A = this chain, B = another copy of it.
């Protein structure tokens, strides 16, 4: 059983959780705009400490003056304006790496047509889009193509700027950038600026997970299906371990069931043969608590050792 070095929260998530809990202790209940981190166990822990997720619609339909937390994923400038207008006390838990990406897109790309590499429905990307003043294109690699017609025409101007959601994978970002470059060549660009806004901690964990996956028979990725980072770790593990040998599990309770399904689908002659000879790799999203990871590790050790 192997892990790719240090796991647990990234500092953006741990800082957001600490800030929110300390605020709620001092100032009373805090509502975070969406889950503070994309992990069910974290959300449960925060509820116990009077930090509860809320939607913007709920903010708008509630009495004014509420305590509202901006999550680590950040929010568009309009959200800050709205909260201010409604007299809310705002606790800003935006991750510093995300805040830097917001600054890049609003300042260094002033006058540029902006392209964002990321999931258009993700909270962080909605925020970045707001700071960009409305990107010209938001999506991933496949979104650049139209079935049967090749490249989409993006209708970008002479100056084009590209950034990434902070939790994406660097090589996939570069694949995206190179395709954008080919598209804008046909649209006669004059200047292209690319800012590598991917979080170095996320990038390092992805790189190490990719390497570890080559040396094991099965990869367990501990995290939530809601977490962009967890999904990306599963993506980078697949070329190494094989697409069928990467399992996302939320916590230790799911280990036995996940392994059971895997045994059955892989058609192994006996469960015992697997448990004595197979190498298992474990990685975790940056919003997965280290406690959860340690429980998974203990559970796997109990089965395999």
Contacts and interface: CB of A to CB of B under 8 A. Distances in A.
A191 B170 CA distance: 13
Nearest to A200: B188
Interface residues of A, number: 19
Nearest to A173: B185
Interface of A: 170-171, 173-174, 177-178, 181-182, 185, 188-196, 200
Given A177-B178, A191-B196, A193-B194, 8 more contacts: A171-B182, A177-B192, A178-B178, A178-B181, A178-B182, A190-B195, A191-B195, A194-B194
A240 B277 CA distance: 58
A190 B188 CA distance: 25
A202 to B, nearest CB: 13
A56 to B, nearest CB: 32
Contacts of A178: 177-178, 181-182
A194 B181 contact: yes
Given A177-B181, A185-B171, A193 B196 contact: no
